[in-house]
Amino acid sequence: MSVRIYGQDYTIVGAESPAHIRLVAAFVDDKMHEFSEKNPLLDVPKLAVLTAVNIASEYLKLKEQYQRLAEQLKQEKDGKQDD
């Protein structure tokens, strides 16, 4: 399937649904435009790396939060089983 990110067309092939691929492409496009507005002098490769680093940072923070919540839930569940 073809998607447009920051004015470039890309063909993406994957196991995810077309709707999911479009959602991801739109998210990346939005983030690139957001960072471009804040850093108008960046060339596209540097903008792409900045965008990737920021998205990876968001992902890792959410992953850590998920792991903490999953552990809390497990502890609460284990605590209730002891009653």
Position 46, amino acid? K
pLDDT of residue 80: 77
Split at pLDDT 50, 70, 90, the class of 79 is: confident
pLDDT tens-digit readout, 3-57:
999 999 999 999 999 999 999 999 999 999 999 999 999 999 999 999 999 999 9
Phi, psi (deg, nearest 5) at residue 24: -65, -45
Phi, psi (deg, nearest 5) at residue 11: -100, 120
pLDDT of residue 37: 97
Going from N- to C-terminal start, the domains of the chain cover 2-82
pLDDT of residue 82: 65
